Amino acid sequence: MPTPYGPRGGMAFGAQELRVLRRALALALNPSPVTAQEAQDCLRLAESLDEAMRESARLRAFLVADLARYRAALPGTATGYLALLDEALDAGHRPEADDLAALGALRGNPAAAALYARCAPSAPSVTLPAARTRIRARTRLHAVP
């Protein structure tokens, strides 16, 4: 089953994945016996989602590190920095105080002004210790009576 990770940081599902997801949700709401194949399909979909989440986290980490390098070289890298910040935001990056300061310094640039308007409502992110950022084990879904 292909990884449901889309090019802009979102999830993209094919017809097969949607069928499995629909069946899994139906089972969560109305528990009933499942075939071995249905159980395997659900497990494969869950594994694909887990991998997509790990890949998304790796992409964000790479983009944020690259963003810091571009930010350190401002104003000479303004065009590259703005494009990279836009990509990082699309991948789920929450702007940090350094990002807002860099955008403020570039406020004469229309692209920087647009990104600043996009970032300003967001609160700066807080870096968590590595032990707390691990992907937690999946919890089981329980049916609602």
Per the prediction, the chain carries an average pLDDT of: 79
Predicted local confidence at residue 30, as pLDDT: 85
Q: Above 70 in pLDDT, residue 61?
A: yes
Predicted local confidence at residue 84, as pLDDT: 93
pLDDT-derived band at 10, boundaries 50, 70, 90: low
| Of 13-22, 44-53, 116-125, the least confident | 116-125
SS3 per-residue string spanning 12-71: CCCHHHHHHHHHHHHHHHCCCCCCHHHHHHHHHHHHHHHHHHHHHHHHHHHHHHHHHHHH
Q: Percent of the chain scored above 70 by pLDDT?
A: 75
Q: What is the CA radius of gyration of the chain?
A: 20
- Hey, what's the torsion of the CAs at 114, 91, 124, 105, to 10 degrees? -40
The answer, yes or no, to whether the previous bond of 75 is cis (omega within 30 of 0) is: yes
Q: Above 80 in pLDDT, residue 6?
A: no
User: What one-letter code names the amino acid at 124?
Assistant: P
- Alpha-carbon span 120 to 104, nearest angstrom: 10
Q: Percent of the chain scored above 90 by pLDDT?
A: 34
Predicted local confidence at residue 109, as pLDDT: 92
Mean pLDDT of all residues in 39-60: 89
Q: Above 90 in pLDDT, residue 110?
A: yes
Q: Above 50 in pLDDT, residue 117?
A: yes
pTM of the predicted protein model:
0.58
Domain boundaries, the chain: 15-130
User: What one-letter code names the amino acid at 122?
Assistant: S
- Alpha-carbon span 122 to 81, nearest angstrom: 19
Predicted local confidence at residue 15, as pLDDT: 85
